[in-house]
A and B are shown apart, each in its own frame.
Chain A
Amino acid sequence: MTQEKLTMLQAINQTLDQVLETKEEVMLLGEDIGKNGGVFRATEGLFEKYGGDRVVDTPLAESGIIGSSIGLALNGKIPIVEIQFLAFIYPGFEQLVSHAARMRYRTRGQFSVPFVIRTPYGAGIRGPELHSESVESFFVQTPGLKVVAPSTPHDAKGLLISAIEDPDPVIFLEDTKLYRAFKEEVPQEMYRIPIGKANVVKEGEDLSIIAWGGMVREAMKAADKLEKSKGWKCEVIDLRSISPLDEETIIHSVKKTGRAMVVHEAHKTGGLGGEITAIINENALIYLKAPVKRVAGFDIPVPSFTLEDQYLPNALRIEQGINETITF
């Protein structure tokens, strides 16, 4: 098995290259994804290799991109759309929630929209206004959509392949701060990581920490630190998919540890932390030794970048959360 050390961005690029190569129905669509290779270079080199009919520089219109991709998907294509930044998906929101998500349901399975919307999300790279949002809850609340957020290059590849092969629409969220953050071994061949299954990245007995995307690394850092300093063993769960949620893994872990904490970058109110807390309450309340803790983005607009580190859940807040929960 050939492995190569890749960044998440390189892993995504390799995956797109391989699916274009092996599946003739696959098309990439987006703004500046052709010659320019995408603003983050996720599609670098693909236009040259596969041509303008398969790697399409679209007009600047998100509803247009998503809406026409619905038509393409209805008619046998597998569109993989790049939305330049998550906040720019809003013009296409209606197409996603009112059509893509509902097509299978309203036609009783007769028509469906198997496509993938890839989009960078999250704060932490000194982006301008509206380049740092994590509004995944909008999509998680929409039946018919799946939402995936990888935390490593290896997972990005396996999850992206699953998303492309999925018969339903998948929103694929790529945390910008992970794009070039680190490299890891990524197998050359095509492999799949199932959508809807979480990954226990670190086992432990004292507290279950639930996170996804870039927050998994932050949670790991805090967990490692407190393990060294205090001997607490945290279990860290990387959800990988935030819709559907792997309730089983969460409940199983909480029953074992008796404590839980959710870390997410999205605003606290209405964020997925509330949902996960409710799932724990409904299924494992009597196992809890402390209230479920949420460490999340504040209920303020993601601020300009000089303040973004304060907005993001950081080691300080995560460690405090662990502390409070374990010593409750």
Chain B
Amino acid sequence: MINSKEIESLHVESDELYQVLSIEGDSLINLPQNMDSHLMLEMYKKMVSCREFDEKAMKLQRQGRLGTYASFKGQEASQVGSSIALEFSDWMFPTYRDHAATHTHGQKWSTIFLYWMGHIDGSICPEGKKILPPSVPIATQLLHAVGTAWADKLKGEENVSIVYFGDGATSEGDFHEALNFSGVFQTPTVFFCQNNQFAISVPFEKQSASKTIKQRAHAYDMKGVRIDGNDIFAVYLTVKEAVDRARNGGGPTLIEAVTTRYGSHTTADDSKKYRNQEKIEKDWPTTQDPIPRLEKYLRKNHLLDKETEDEMKREIKKEIDEALSIAENYPKATTKQMFEHVYAVNTATIKKQEEEFLHLLGEER
């Protein structure tokens, strides 16, 4: 357990961003014991790996090797820092932009590639894991994380359910229904909002008259926290505290991690149309990019040297190249597979449609 008193005093009841790691890479608090060098290096490695994946995916998309792709660049600290605070069997409900989180929680890069390549096997998670497919309808997945957490509570199991969503999602009814249900039934759910300040083209100030997303927690009598989402220490410590609280019967938490969507909404979008993208690209590397921030800390504290870093980057590159190769050599989905898993046992209608179509194609059944 972390020293929650210390953290609480810093960020509760304030609209200010809770920050632990300064932009210069200095820690603003005495870090709790569980934040050891091993964990910090793991955080760094995961963030670098996620960045590498994301940049690779953008290139592949331009080459026509992936379909439309949603980049999470800029949000690595939020996603890695939050998911690294989970236990193996915790439930995770992501959106289309949260594959840095799903990967950190155990999803394979090769499967994530498959998803963006439009393969039907792209949403299968590793055996024993509870990582659900990315939710496409905005905010709907929040309620699922209430339900799984509720079932765990009723069964006396200690899992926590974490759900990811954006600032735009907080305007949907399902966001409010989920917070309300979670409050009423005191479910062990962590609501993790990445306020990347844009929902496609709409900035948060047009999304809502609320100053913060955190303040919505107050309405549901839930703990709400607003943190610097580019500060992986703040993210980790806050989520760890929320997860521990949930696991110990203390109920849900709403976390607003303020971060930046570095690029366009997806590869099908052009952010120049609605925001000053040039300025973001100019300022972001020195003020908001979460990776150099942690790197500075690690270097100042002699936890990372050039040699370790080069070795790490080589490893990561290899890992992602291998994942891509697995995905690109993965067996093509068959027409027959297209008809599978609509029901536990498919209906006569589906069977007939399948048979007739396969017959027409002249394929083996």
The reply to whether chain A is a binding partner of chain B is: yes
Chain A interface (Cβ < 8 Å from any Cβ of B): 27, 53, 58-59, 61, 63-64, 66-77, 91, 94-95, 98-99, 104-112, 143-144, 146, 166-168, 196, 243-245, 247-248
Contact B146 A71 (CB under 8 A): yes
Chain A residue nearest in CB terms to B155? A76
Report the Cα distance A147→B349, complex, angstroms. Answer: 14
Determine the chain A residues whose CB is within 8 A of the CB of B135 once the complex forms.
Answer: 99
**A91–chain B nearest beta-carbon distance, Å:** 7
Chain A residue nearest in CB terms to B93? A71
Contact A111 B132 (CB under 8 A): yes
Contact A167 B349 (CB under 8 A): no
Report the Cα distance A98→B139, complex, angstroms. Answer: 12
Contact B341 A109 (CB under 8 A): yes
**A242–chain B nearest beta-carbon distance, Å:** 12
**A145–chain B nearest beta-carbon distance, Å:** 9
Report the Cα distance A98→B174, complex, angstroms. Answer: 14
Apart from A95-B174, A104-B342, A107-B341, 10 more pairs, CB < 8 Å: A58-B181, A61-B181, A63-B177, A64-B174, A74-B144, A77-B151, A94-B137, A104-B343, A105-B342, A247-B349
Report the Cα distance A111→B124, complex, angstroms. Answer: 9
Residues of chain B from 344 to 360 with CB closer than 8 A to chain A in the complex:
344, 347-350
Determine the chain A residues whose CB is within 8 A of the CB of B147 once the complex forms.
Answer: 67-75
Q: Can you report 8 residue pairs joining A to B where beta carbons are below 8 Å apart? A: A64-B146, A64-B174, A71-B149, A74-B132, A99-B144, A106-B120, A108-B121, A168-B343
Contact A168 B344 (CB under 8 A): yes
Determine the chain A residues whose CB is within 8 A of the CB of B235 once the complex forms.
Answer: none
CB < 8 Å neighbour of A61 from B133, B137, B180, B350? B180
**A188–chain B nearest beta-carbon distance, Å:** 29
**B206–chain A nearest beta-carbon distance, Å:** 24
Determine the chain A residues whose CB is within 8 A of the CB of B341 once the complex forms.
Answer: 104-105, 107-109
Q: Produce 1/0 per residue, B134-173, CB < 8 A to A.
A: 0111001011111111111011000001000000000001
Contact A71 B154 (CB under 8 A): no
Contact B344 A112 (CB under 8 A): yes
Chain B residue nearest in CB terms to A95? B140
Residues of chain B from 105 to 130 with CB closer than 8 A to chain A in the complex:
120-121, 123-125
Determine the chain A residues whose CB is within 8 A of the CB of B120 once the complex forms.
Answer: 106, 108
Take A110-B125, A144-B342 as given contacts and tell me if A244 and B347 are in contact as well, using a CB distance cutoff of 8 Å.
yes
Does B340 interact with chain A (Cβ within 8 Å)?
yes
Contact A72 B347 (CB under 8 A): no
Determine the chain B residues whose CB is within 8 A of the CB of A72 once the complex forms.
Answer: 147-148, 150-151
Does B91 interact with chain A (Cβ within 8 Å)?
yes
Label chain B's interface by main secondary structure. Answer: helix
Chain B residue nearest in CB terms to A145? B343
Does B86 interact with chain A (Cβ within 8 Å)?
no
Does B12 interact with chain A (Cβ within 8 Å)?
no
Take A61-B177, A61-B181, A74-B148 as given contacts and tell me if A107 and B133 are in contact as well, using a CB distance cutoff of 8 Å.
yes
Report the Cα distance A126→B178, complex, angstroms. Answer: 34
Contact A167 B344 (CB under 8 A): yes
Contact B161 A71 (CB under 8 A): yes
Q: 4 shortest A-B CB distances, which residue pairs?
A: A71-B147, A67-B143, A64-B177, A75-B151
Chain B count of residues within 8 A CB distance of the other chain: 42
Report the Cα distance A74→B145, complex, angstroms. Answer: 10
Does B184 interact with chain A (Cβ within 8 Å)?
yes
Chain B interface (Cβ < 8 Å from any Cβ of A): 91, 120-121, 123-125, 132-133, 135-137, 140, 142-152, 154-155, 161, 173-174, 177-178, 180-181, 184, 340-344, 347-350
**A185–chain B nearest beta-carbon distance, Å:** 31
Determine the chain A residues whose CB is within 8 A of the CB of B342 once the complex forms.
Answer: 104-105, 143-144
Take A108-B121, A111-B132 as given contacts and tell me if A99 and B140 are in contact as well, using a CB distance cutoff of 8 Å.
yes
Report the Cα distance A99→B151, complex, angstroms. Answer: 18
Determine the chain A residues whose CB is within 8 A of the CB of B161 once the complex forms.
Answer: 71
Report the Cα distance A146→B177, complex, angstroms. Answer: 26
Report the Cα distance A119→B135, complex, angstroms. Answer: 27
Determine the chain B residues whose CB is within 8 A of the CB of A106 once the complex forms.
Answer: 120, 123, 133
Take A64-B180, A67-B174, A168-B343 as given contacts and tell me if A248 and B143 are in contact as well, using a CB distance cutoff of 8 Å.
no
Report the Cα distance A104→B340, complex, angstroms. Answer: 9
Determine the chain B residues whose CB is within 8 A of the CB of A58 once the complex forms.
Answer: 181
CB < 8 Å neighbour of A245 from B91, B136, B349? B349
**A232–chain B nearest beta-carbon distance, Å:** 31
Contact B140 A67 (CB under 8 A): yes
Chain A residue nearest in CB terms to B153? A53
Report the Cα distance A104→B137, complex, angstroms. Answer: 17
Report the Cα distance A70→B344, complex, angstroms. Answer: 17
Determine the chain A residues whose CB is within 8 A of the CB of B133 once the complex forms.
Answer: 106-107
**A165–chain B nearest beta-carbon distance, Å:** 11
Report the Cα distance A88→B293, complex, angstroms. Answer: 50
Determine the chain A residues whose CB is within 8 A of the CB of B132 once the complex forms.
Answer: 74, 107, 111
Identify which of A69, A104, A108, A245 gathers the most chain B CB atoms within 10 Å of its CB. Answer: A108
**B127–chain A nearest beta-carbon distance, Å:** 9
Determine the chain B residues whose CB is within 8 A of the CB of A111 once the complex forms.
Answer: 132
Determine the chain B residues whose CB is within 8 A of the CB of A74 once the complex forms.
Answer: 132, 144, 147-148, 151
Take A71-B148, A245-B349 as given contacts and tell me if A144 and B343 are in contact as well, using a CB distance cutoff of 8 Å.
yes
Determine the chain A residues whose CB is within 8 A of the CB of B348 once the complex forms.
Answer: 196, 244, 247-248
Report the Cα distance A108→B178, complex, angstroms. Answer: 27
CB < 8 Å neighbour of A68 from B136, B146, B155, B343? B146
Contact B181 A59 (CB under 8 A): yes
Determine the chain A residues whose CB is within 8 A of the CB of B347 once the complex forms.
Answer: 196, 243-244
Determine the chain B residues whose CB is within 8 A of the CB of A68 once the complex forms.
Answer: 143-144, 146-147, 150, 178, 181
Report the Cα distance A325→B133, complex, angstroms. Answer: 51
**B351–chain A nearest beta-carbon distance, Å:** 10
Contact B144 A70 (CB under 8 A): yes
